[in-house]
Structure 1
């Protein structure tokens, strides 16, 4: 009987050790992918091309570009053509009490050209405002692009990590099923008590619950991936960090964020917009000088029947000086000044936020490095501990629950390692985003960079035309 129990103990130890080795192999396979799998740079390039959020922001920027030709229209003449025609019944009573009547068919055609010569520099300042709005919009677009690329990184690494966690939990369930089966056989042989089988069964059910939770998390991350990237995830390659593009130290990170982050740049342009808007509002207090030329031809439009037709041409200069408009211009000027004060405060707030975000990103990235190193050490120690417990269990010095606990410690350590590796990649990209360098050019992604200035130059000097440069 003692020999049979010893052989059963040795068999149990060998099987537990075999499943522990398989578990480690499956987790490693989950973290690696075949050579033909999709890489993180490829996923980021696809998101940069197809993500609805960034494409909507590009459309918004193209609409902002149109503010410039609208402002430039103030320098150009306004031409209006007019045409009128109709029927007119005329009945004139003459001094000799005779009646003169006629049915006229009057018509008139004319053209009027108006050119503003001076409007208190309103046109010049309006053009300046529009150009500054374009510059601010470009920085806002760049900031949205950073956000989309960071969302792509997060979605990619979440899928990669959750795939590895699912495989690890599947291996864990297989290990627990084998342990439960062995424990049941040993119970039938009288080698263990019903408590051991109950413990093995309870741990198996916990493993099934953990597997289900991992599968749910994977399904959610896959849906998010499809939303951000534009297609469902397939096999994914391991993601690499981008520390080579990041700052050298915390001081460099804060300085770069303070000066180069697109949110800070956009807020700076918004200050210039608000300051220039003051001069636009003040222009309403200046005189306006216009030159108007007109020419017209009319026929049968004289109800006195004294003339049959009239041809006219004129050139008129006009000067208008506002005297009192009820206080509208003064109120608009005061309002513009307050908005300028607000925009300067917003700029300081954005700079402070950028500085804080850069420090947080730097600290998180450094912390992620430590977390990965600690998790790797924990996995190595847990692996050694499991092997030791298995040997002790085969010698009768450890119980089944000791083996189960040690194996559970190992699977939890590997789950923490997977999470730490995911966080490490995200933290490096977050740091790059915090300093304003998370873009196609810096990362050298295999996709054309969207250049907003192309559309700007296409429409800036357009005098007419309803179609957009894209043909819509």
Structure 2
């Protein structure tokens, strides 16, 4: 069903410029430290790929040494020895462990990217909640303020009627008590508005200014089953869990590869203080025979971790479907409550007008008027809550489907490209290479250097 919440969440007239929900979402995306943190974690995962790639390459080391001996015999002389050496080593065969490590780290990167999407959804949903809470809190302050003024007028009228003997002191006291309660509720509403402002500042990065009326909400599926199908295809938590299963499956293969032989090549060139040069080259074969049961244990452990991640995937699917169902139910309840409160407000308004008129004729007491006014106020407050709940429930459903992203909402801004840094480091560039210079350019764009 295509649901558009056309009911305004703000009571004030539109200003010359007001911050829209789109502005709020953009600011939240751009200024979120949580997103910055998880982007950095993603870049750290990218570096794991570079380090795994480096394990397939030769390792060069330069060594220099100098020693001086001090003989104890009086006729002996000091001896100084010096040498420099260039050493190289490379793994020729390791049972596929290094290549499996590269594949494993790549899958980890993809899983971390999905985790970043989940954080993006959380940031945007928090911004929607904060925006809606500020709008609702403003409405409640306005309602409470209006209620206080109305009861003040009723109290003044009650005192005038008491002076001429039309009503008793009890009715005046009832009006005074109701005014005190209204003032208390008004103060609480103002406090709640301040809480909402602080939550907005945390979610968006700055305090709220003048907020525009909430725009119509995005379209959502017509049925819950359709929403769940979309969720199981697109939700980042499910995609992350799928990648994590692959990571642990590769972990089983790596644990098995550790039992296979490995072949390493070593070469060195040395020169002593006399200029004499020497070279060496060698191959080494290593085959585990017995490791106290550690290698077999590692294989069993890797299989257990794989089974755990497979179970986690199934559990994640159920949780995502439940989240979609909860959001759908919340939306249905909010829609029903909104319809009910509209009818309640209409009936309460008629009742209030009639009781107030009857009270002016002496057929009703001041307490009857106050009770009717309170019923009308409660209905209006319930409507504010229902509108806010309906609005947030729609965006919560989008989040449960994995669609609450900058791209899906079409916010029209440049988004963080998770592949830019990965492409710059995936081949393990050295600092002075062309790839290294490309990496420097990426870092400059990220504002990290």
TM-score, L = length of structure 1: 0.87
1:250 is matched with 224
Contact 1:372 1:420 in 2 (8 A): yes
Q: 2:358 aligns with which of 392, 398, 408?
A: 392
| Structure 1 equivalent of residue 241 of structure 2 | 267
Cα deviation for residue 453 of structure 1 reads: 1.1
Conservation of the 8 A alpha-carbon contact between 2:42 and 2:112: yes
Q: Secondary structure at the match of 2:70?
A: strand
Q: How does 1:339-354 map to 2 (within 5 A)?
A: 339-354=305-320
Equivalent residue runs for 1:283-362 within 5 Å: 283-299=257-273, 310-362=276-328
Partner of 1:89: 70
Query: Does structure 1 residue 118 correspond to structure 2 residue 110?
Result: no
Q: Separation in 1 of the partners of 2:288 and 2:109?
A: 32
The answer to whether 1:407 aligns with 2:377 is no
Q: Give 1:259 shift.
A: 2.1
1:296-336 C-alpha deviation (Å, 9 max, x unpaired): 0012xxxxxxxx56411122222222222222211111110
Work out the CA distance in 2 between the residues paired with 1:162 and 1:463: 54
Deviation at 1:250, TM superposition (A): 0.7
SS in 1 for 2:55: helix
Which blocks of at least 5 consecutive residues in structure 2 are unaligned?
A: 1-7
Structure-2 separation of matches of 1:243 and 1:228: 21
What's the CA shift for 1:218? Answer: 1.1
Which of 75, 79, 83 is the matching residue for 2:60?
79
Q: Matches of residues 97-136 of structure 1 in structure 2 within 5 Å?
A: 101-136=76-111
**Greater C-alpha radius of gyration:** 1
Matches within 5 A, 1:47-86: 47-86=28-67
Q: TM-score, normalised by structure 2?
A: 0.92
Aligned partners of 2:428 and 2:54: how far apart in 1? 10
Contact 1:31 1:160 in 2 (8 A): no
Structure 1 spans left out of the alignment, 5+ residues: 1-26, 93-98, 300-307
Contact 1:136-1:267 within 8 A present in 2 as well: yes
Separation (CA, whole Å) in 2 of partners of 1:193 and 1:54: 64
Kept in 2: contact 1:112–1:295 (CA 8 A): yes
- Alpha carbons 1:241, 1:429 under 8 Å: kept: no
Q: Distance in 1 between matches of 2:253 and 2:158?
A: 86
Give the direction of change, closer, same or farther, for the CA distance of 1:357–1:35 in structure 2 (3 Å limit).
farther
CA contact (8 A) 1:119 1:286 kept: yes
Q: Distance in 1 between matches of 2:10 and 2:123?
A: 29
Query: Structure 1: how far apart are the matches of 2:171 and 2:135?
Result: 36
Query: What are the Cα deviations for residues 395-453 of structure 1, in whole angstroms up to 9, with x where unaligned?
Result: 32222222111111111111111111111110000000000000001111143211211
Does 2:154 match 1:173?
Answer: no
* Aligned match of 2:5: none
3-state DSSP class of the match of 1:70? Answer: helix
Q: Deviations over 1:331-368 (max 9, x none)?
A: 11111011001000111110110111111111211222
Kindly indicate whether the alpha-carbon contact (under 8 Å) linking 1:240 and 1:425 is maintained by their aligned counterparts in 2. no
Deviation digits for residues 356-388 of structure 1 (CA, Å, limit 9, x no counterpart)? 111111121122212112112211221222122
- 1:29/1:399 CA distance change after superposition, 3 Å: farther
Q: Relative to 1, partners in 2 of residues 1:29 and 1:135: Cα closer, same or farther, differing over 3 Å?
A: closer
User: Aligned in 2, Cα 1:56/1:69: closer, same or farther, shift over 3 Å?
Assistant: same
Q: Which shows bigger deviation, 320-329 or 141-150?
A: 320-329
Residues 31, 161 of structure 1: 8 Å contact kept: no
What is the rounded CA distance, in whole Å, between the counterparts of 1:55 and 1:240 in structure 2?
28
The number of equivalent residue pairs is 431
Work out which of the residue numbers 401, 404, 411 in structure 2 matches 1:435. Answer: 401
Conserved in 1, the CA contact under 8 Å of 2:141 and 2:186? yes
1:224 aligns with 2:224: no
Counterpart Cα distance in 2 of 1:403 and 1:243: 42
Shift of 1:162: 0.6
2:172 is the counterpart of 1:215: no
Cα shift at 1:52 = 1.6
How many Å separate the matches in 2 of 1:101 and 1:428?
92
Instruction: Give yes or no for the alignment of 1:382 onto 2:363.
Output: no
Distance 1:184 1:398, change over 3 A: same
Following the alignment from structure 1 to structure 2, what is the Cα–Cα distance between the partners of residues 324 and 310? 43
User: Could you say what the CA RMSD is over the residues aligned between the two structures, in angstroms?
Assistant: 1.9
- Displacement after TM superposition at 1:294 (Å): 0.8
